[in-house]
Every structure is written in structure tokens, then in C-alpha cells.
Amino acid sequence: EITIKIEPPKEAKLKPQDIPLDIIYEDKDIIVINKPKGMCVHPGNGNPEGTLANAVLNYCKDSLSGIGGQIRPGIVHRLDKDTSGLIIVAKNDDAHIRMSEEIKEHKVTKIYTALVKGNVPENEATIDMPIGRSKTRTHQIRVHLAQIGYPVVGDEVYSNGKNEFNVKGQMLHSTILEFDHPITGKRLHLEAELPEYFKQILEKLDNK
């Protein structure tokens, strides 16, 4: 005999904060946000507030999935603090579960734009190099690009320390997301324009 006790969702201890959000898409089930560089997705060591979770909690009020727990309500996936761009937040548990399954089954297309050091000779390539201990493949893009000799500009962890453009944090942007809406099944194609600082560096390179 197996007894399962499901506790009711605990009230989030997050502090709602009135932080502006760049909303790319929103309906009653999900919200897709263009996260700025420098913002953590949820509170952690050294970042108790000012996070995306704080901002979303303030914006959505009671309309957020509780599956993410007290610290990550509605957060379906993550982006590093200094990686900007598109991120999905679920407004209810049903959307959260289905969206998580879609990500786990690799049915979500994620396209990133990265500025890397060096001149990459190939226009298209596949990197097939299983790296690291984590099953969630933390920093996957950054690790792989550094491994093949083209670290992301500004990456303080996996780069060689040189920072020609004097930028803080890696030049990595989640540009495009394509996925089936977790409730309606409609295929969504969402894009986030490159941040202004990204464009400025590309302009400098074009003028060289």
C-alpha cells in the first residue's frame, strides 16, 4: 500500500518588486519575457532580490504556477544572469507541466546569438562533445564554444581573460524561441531584438 500526501502550494516568500518587464508575448497561460543582461532569473547567493522572479510575481500577482516552488514560481527554464533574451514563465500548473515536458523532449527550438573570439571558418557546424557532470548541462553553449577555441566575448568563466570590448558578462542572447503552446497547441515563433550594447559592438566590428 502506497500513500502519497500532496501538500498544498506554500505561499511564495519572494518579495514582489515593481521592476519593468519587456514582455514579448502573454496570454492567460504563459508569458514570454526578454530578460536583460545582469538580471538573475531567481534569488540565490548574493542576489536575494531584483530578480526576474521578483518582477514576475509583482506583475502576475496570484496568476503564476506554483510548481517552481517558493523561490521559482512559474519559472519553466533558466538563463544565466548575464545571458539576455527570451525566457518562458508559466501562469498555471497545467501550462508549467506541459511546457516542461516539451523542453525535456527537445520540442522547443532555441536559437541564440553569440559574439565569440576569433574567426569561425564554418558557416554551419554541429558540436557533439558531451561535457560536464550536470544532467541539466549548465552553461552548455559557453562551455562548448570555449572548448572548440571560440569563447564568448565577455565570458569571465570560460574565456581566456582578455576583454577587448571591455564588456561585463558574456555576449550571449536568446534570440528566438519556437514551441507549441502548452494549452492550445498552436506553434509560436517569438523573437527578441539584440540589445543595444550588442548592436554597438557589431557596428564597431563592421567599421573595422
d(CA 22, CA 85): 10
Name, in order, each residue with C-beta under 8 angstroms of 103's C-beta and a sequence gap of 6 or more.
76, 77
Backbone angles phi, psi at 137, to 5 degrees: 55, 55
How far apart are the C-alpha atoms of 192 and 52, rounded to whole Å? 16
Cα angle: 83, vertex 175, 114; to 5 degrees: 55
Residue 65 near residue 90 (C-beta atoms within 8 A): yes
CA dist., res. 158 & res. 177, Å (int): 25
The reply to whether 80 belongs to the active site is yes
Residue 183 in grid coordinates: 494549452
Sequence length of the chain is: 208
Query: Residues 80, 94, 155, 206: which is the catalytic one?
Result: 80
The helix (H) or strand (E) run that includes residue 64 is none
**Could you identify the residue written with the cell 497545467?**
94
CA distance 95 to 89: 9
Residues belonging to the active site: 80
